[in-house]
A and B are shown apart, each in its own frame.
Chain A
């Protein structure tokens, strides 16, 4: 796919997005040290996508409840730990709450809760619901004459949930063109490699067959990723929903996590966390 040059971010933007993706990874390590267990690698595969959306592509406001804001839903809610620092950075959430992540009474848990955490557009945790929530938001926007875009990040393991395909059918049938699904195709689910446990291929062809416009992109290339997201968001002529299959690496940025599926859930002792931090700081993605 050839992108017009004007969708490509400039060097300054790219540097900022890389910095924010690094910030997401470092904060994730810090917060999980407090919880003593968490989903590092699920955040690391999505860090560039989070950065591109929240620091460039999405239409946002200082008011996290602004009705015309773009929405971002997390089908893979277990990566919420990577989003909370962004919400604090945006000024929606008291940064001091991060220091008490998951402790008794904290609004911040392993999964996002819209009733407790400003910035969360919809709660999640039960895999498979989020695309349907996004279908409802897209309907709501259209009925109210609002032009916001609803982005829904889905895990690749989530493709195994039947409800995803109910929502995909519904969105295409009703021409919900302001709905964008992003599949974080990092290749691993809890029990192991996705295509070993329950194959989901041919993934892009499945979405095409369901009537969606489909794009594939390197989910760790901030330039290509941001350009694609900008273009998809700007396209007002599209008459169908859009799915982006983002090819990513689970655990991206910390080398041993990229090759070891067991890191879906885990804990880094302080000295290992320090080494992981160093690798994240010293490696350019």
Chain B
């Protein structure tokens, strides 16, 4: 713990008497520690090996560094003109040069051998007990349980830190609120739940642009590439909640799409699967039913808040120059068919992504909501889920 205290002291020294913000809040459970200096504490063998090889390479580097710069600073100190040192005139020695080329080469071979073994191990995704698909969206993650216990479960996972903790410009007390929140920006509504000591294969793709699924404690990072499927794996050896973030620049809210993995015991996991399946069944909306305007509006407001508000804003005014306003928009006030088209297929070449992943009811609700919210009074102001079903074809 000593280097950590040194880091705290350094922070305080450089920042002056001003108190450390990080120390006040304490370590994040399952996430980064206050002024953490090294890699995140490992919960998989892969992550443990990464720790090991980091120290291994690091110590070799430190040794070479000390040797080379020991020589250099000795020369800087002793062989200076002000101490009357006369210059030597040698300027070549092929033997010495061959030596200091061959020795680093051998050191590098020594590093490459354990690294090779680890690459092969990291890439071996065969024989998984559970296969989960993670899909990157702008800006959230979607999880589908493809194989193993829990097959068929699927949900979206979104940042649960409220905007009123993040945006100081719109919420004057945002600072006070986030300073009460130790998991600020690394918390989600629905974490990925997996069993402990089971090999979990994560199949990764994306819907719009490239994202990256990064879980430091599990030693995993894999880019999510739209239109392609990549995979990685982990086998968590401890139960608990572990946190990571998106690691590939994916646009505006790149910093606001964290990843949370909840590792549970086998029994707890099966219980969760049971509950989740029941919950999904209850939540399944009948897309053939006729909905009332008020119900659609109420549901639509929630869908809007979860999916649209980041760009089009709560007041529907968008952001001038970047994201168009929906309030008073020609598309929203025009034929519902055209608006459904945009929502289902996105607008290629802009930040408007396709939202096919939402259910028919959700899409009908959100479209209805935008047609009635703010100053909007569209002529065909109610869109039924059955129209979405039709539009999908």
- The yes or no verdict on A and B being binding partners is no
Residues on A facing B (Cβ under 8 Å): none
